[in-house]
Amino acid sequence: MITTTSEHIAGKQVVKTLGIVRGNTVRARNLGKDISAVFRNMVGGEVAEYTKLLAEAREQALDRMVAHAEAIGGNAVICARFATSEIMGGAAEIVAYGTAVIIE
Amino acid sequence: MSCETYQPLITGYLDGELTDEQRGGIEAHLETCEACRQELADLAELKESLAAIKFTEPTDTELERFWAAIYNRLERGVGWILFSIGGILLLCFGAFRLIESVVRDPDISLVVKIGVVALLFGAVILFVSLLRERLKVRKKDRYSREVQR
């Protein structure tokens, strides 16, 4: 399924708009990784634990959004966006949302 | 005009660096010369594959080299083992002391004693249960396994 941040998909026509689809997740790394992150905060540099954490959360949110779009019969998602909230320290809530459409 | 004149200009033609006059000349020559057309095609292909090469980030190779060194792995492992042993010992000791002080104290009512002990044991059992669930699910969790960044 094509997901895009733009309103138009090059070479295709949107024939039907189905509505908002979204997928979200809240993920945390384990305690060991959180402790490593505290030390990295002291020494500097990329906190790879949290890079991976946010990437995991993004992928899972995207996959859930696509699954929602498939469930309502769409074959593409346009205007996809990400948003984030803070639920607990050390956990990332990411929601991916967009408009499910049928393209030809 | 011969190949000798135009062959050196082929790379310039690909990069768009020729003057209008040179471009006209080389295009006219290319129409007639098979060898130069082939040269142009080869150079165009080379240019495309060079543009497609991606270099791994310098930080990645440094990281890999770091982790390949066994001393670094050993050091990290020893650190974690010591830290975990210390943490577990202190936690168990603290919990034991807490239960002991609550149970031994005659002034605290029985209800509170039972409550504290039940709470602590319940928390431990809950934690173990969630940990087992996570360990089982982790094998199937493709996001933990596959996503790097």
DSSP per residue over B51-117, as a string? HH--PPPHHHHHHHHHHHSHHHHHHHHHHHHHHHHHHHHHHHHHHHHHHHHHHH-TTS-HHHHHHHH
Question: What's the Cα-to-Cα distance from B14 to each of B18, B35, B36, B70, rounded to whole Å?
Answer: 9, 16, 13, 49
User: Please, are residues A99 and A81 in contact by the beta-carbon 8 Å criterion?
Assistant: no
Query: Average pLDDT for consecutive 10-residue bins of chain B (149 residues)?
Result: 77 83 84 85 87 72 82 91 94 90 87 90 94 90 82
Q: Return the residue in A56, A62, A63 with the most chain B beta carbons within 10 A, the one to mutate for interface testing.
A: A56
User: Please, are residues A51 and A64 in contact by the beta-carbon 8 Å criterion?
Assistant: no
Question: What's the Cα-to-Cα distance from B102 to each of A10, A17, B120, B126, rounded to whole Å?
Answer: 71, 64, 12, 22
User: Please, are residues A19 and A103 in contact by the beta-carbon 8 Å criterion?
Assistant: no
Contacts of A25 (CB under 8 A, 6+ apart): A57, A60, A61, A64, A93, A94
User: Please, are residues A22 and A96 in contact by the beta-carbon 8 Å criterion?
Assistant: yes
Is the CB of B80 less than 8 angstroms away from the CB of A32? Answer: yes
The DSSP call for residue B17 is -
Specify the pLDDT at position B58: 67
The DSSP call for residue A103 is E
What is the C-alpha separation between B8 and A98, in angstroms, rounded? 53
Q: Considering the entire predicted model, what is its pTM?
A: 0.70
From B80, which residue of chain A is nearest by alpha-carbon distance?
A: A32
Specify the pLDDT at position B1: 57
Contacts of B29 (CB under 8 A, 6+ apart): B1, B3, B5, B6, B36
Specify the pLDDT at position A76: 95
User: Please, are residues A100 and A72 in contact by the beta-carbon 8 Å criterion?
Assistant: yes
List, for residues A61-77, the tens digit of each pLDDT value. 999 999 999 999 999 99
Residues of A in contact with B59 (CB under 8 A): 46
Q: Which residues of chain A are modeled with pLDDT < 70? A: none
Measure B84 CA to nearest chain A CA, in Å. Answer: 9
What is the C-alpha separation between B3 and B21, in angstroms, rounded? 16
What is the C-alpha separation between B14 and A28, in angstroms, rounded? 51
From A29, which residue of chain B is nearest by alpha-carbon distance?
A: B144
Q: Which among A35, A46, A55 is the nearest to B147, CB-wise?
A: A55
Sheet containing A76-85: give its strands across. A2-3, A76-85, A91-103, A14-28
